[in-house]
Structure 1
Amino acid sequence: MINFYAIRAIYRFEMARAFRTLMQSIASPVLSTSLYFIVFGTAIGSRMGEVGSVSYGAFIVPGLVMMSLLNESISNASFGIYMPKWTGTIYELLSAPVSPLEAVVGYVGAAASKSVLLGILILVTARLFVPYHIAHPFWMIGFLVLTAVTFSLFGFIIGLWADDFQKLQIVPLMVVMPLTFLGGAFYSISMLPPLWQKITLANPVVYLISGFRWSFYGEADVNVAVSLGMTLAFLLLCLGVVAWMFRTGYKLKS
């Protein structure tokens, strides 16, 4: 039977930590994303033509939201589980009557909640700089939540794997950030030469941004069903890795 008290305790602790550091957790990502809107959406966007049937300023809104969502989901989840490892309290969690499922739901649920909240705040802020519309609000929320949960799980894996604070930053900075910039956050992959279009399809972030952008404007670089399938596949992969780490005790009992 699921211990909902344990899940709630972990969830409330992680959410309280976020609200104690509002400047770092919420204000800083919103402010940095707003600078992108000012530079790319207003200054540069006003001098560029439309991308498809959408103005450039509106076109980059889903990409910027997704970029912040990926980074914050990974950061929140990885830091949340790494701190108990660093302080040694992870052993109290492992010896408590809390199952791995309950621990994952608590930590990942809190990280995903913070990321979804941040994504909504960025969308509200974007309205101050560029006009945009959401053609499929249900699917927009669905992609937002699914991506937040998936990459919070990915961040949870990084937090379990990392041995020091430096390792917490390696994957987000050296892998996720470049893939996001090359994943169509600021451009449509249809603008690329045919060869590079095919190469770009090997980038998993392309499917996330394309599907999310489709929920706004009904236009996408990749079929929305493929985007959804790729996201679900990565979610299942992350679940499998987390289950293996808890079952074997990898980076947990040593």
Structure 2
Amino acid sequence: MNLQAVRSIYIFEMARAGRTLLQSLISPVISTSLYFVVFGAAIGSRIQEVEGVSYGAFIVPGLIMLMLLTQSVSNASFGIFFPKFTGTIYEMLSAPISYFEIVLGYVGAAASKSAILGLVILVTANFFVDLHILHPFMMLLFLLLTALTFSLLGFIIGIWADSFEKLQLVPLLIITPLTFLGGSFYAIDMLPPFWQTVTLANPVVYLVSGFRWSFYGISDVSIVASLVMIGVFLAASLAVISWIFRTGYRLRP
């Protein structure tokens, strides 16, 4: 494996995040803080507890997952789209570096940035509510697996998109709505029976539920189902990326 090439891509992408610190770190933290103020204070004053957990603490895993999904997709998609947009990706494809090493560099950097952001938001949440993480190892596992999986999805979107407008299409119209409707701010059993069944068709429900279980030991679906769903996402993303490089989809002029 060409570790020097992977390291170069990784360091370049991480350095780009450092140059845009306001957009990549500070802005998401401020947005999350506003969610705490609006939902935690305004709605939390009316909903005291959800399944034995204060409402302000209950929404913390959902808020972290919301930022984690959107930022993972955005970081990875822009990371690979920009060299494709400028044409420098063809130099990379002709260099002595494998497709696996290219994906490892870009996706590794995107997942690292998203995971760091998730941990920063977790620390920020402690200023608003009292948090007690029941299963810290599982919390980190969910955090890293979700960041990795959706960074792979973002990499696919970056290859597929041929304009900056398409780059934002999936995160804005699909990922964010699914996360809001995936139990980020409420428990599924608070819904009528029909909508509970409909909601279970939303794959993000399993991610949010599993992540919340790692905090409080409560979930809308089983922890096994949550892990299986992440595994399915991960396998599907890897299969699509393998197909992209095998066929040259949107990579060959």
TM range, normalised to the smaller chain?
A: over 0.9
**Structure 1 Cα separation of the partners of residues 196 and 47 of structure 2:** 22
User: Which residue is equivalent to 1:9?
Assistant: 8
Q: Using structure 2 for the length normalisation, give the TM-score.
A: 0.99
1:132 matched to 2:117: no
Q: SS of the counterpart of 1:141?
A: helix
Aligned-residue RMSD, C-alpha: 0.6
**Structure 1 Cα separation of the partners of residues 44 and 195 of structure 2:** 24
Residue 131 of structure 1 deviates from its aligned partner by 1.2
User: Which residue is equivalent to 1:213?
Assistant: 212
Q: AA paired with 2:198?
A: I
User: Which residue is equivalent to 1:223?
Assistant: 222
User: Which residue is equivalent to 1:106?
Assistant: 105
Q: Using structure 1 for the length normalisation, give the TM-score.
A: 0.99
Residue 41 of structure 1 deviates from its aligned partner by 1.2
User: Which residue is equivalent to 2:73?
Assistant: 74
**Structure 1 Cα separation of the partners of residues 62 and 137 of structure 2:** 18
Residue 132 of structure 1 deviates from its aligned partner by 1.7
Aligned residues: 253
User: Which residue is equivalent to 2:244?
Assistant: 245
User: Which residue is equivalent to 1:64?
Assistant: 63
Q: AA paired with 2:148?
A: V
**Runs of 4 or more above 4 Å deviation:** none
Residue 130 of structure 1 deviates from its aligned partner by 1.1
User: Which residue is equivalent to 1:85?
Assistant: 84
Taking only the aligned residue pairs, the percentage that are identical comes to 68
Residue 46 of structure 1 deviates from its aligned partner by 2.6
Residue 42 of structure 1 deviates from its aligned partner by 2.4
Q: AA paired with 1:40?
A: F
Q: Deviations over 1:110-151 (max 9, x none)?
A: 000000000000000011011121000000000000000000
| Unmatched tracts of structure 2, length 5 or more | none
**Structure 2 Cα separation of the partners of residues 245 and 122 of structure 1:** 34
Q: AA paired with 1:34?
A: S
User: Which residue is equivalent to 1:160?
Assistant: 159
**Structure 2 Cα separation of the partners of residues 132 and 195 of structure 1:** 32
| Unmatched tracts of structure 1, length 5 or more | none
**Structure 2 Cα separation of the partners of residues 175 and 44 of structure 1:** 25
CA contact (8 A) 1:58 1:130 kept: yes
Q: AA paired with 2:5?
A: A
**Structure 1 Cα separation of the partners of residues 17 and 29 of structure 2:** 14
CA contact (8 A) 1:214 1:220 kept: yes
1:34 matched to 2:33: yes
**Structure 2 Cα separation of the partners of residues 46 and 201 of structure 1:** 28
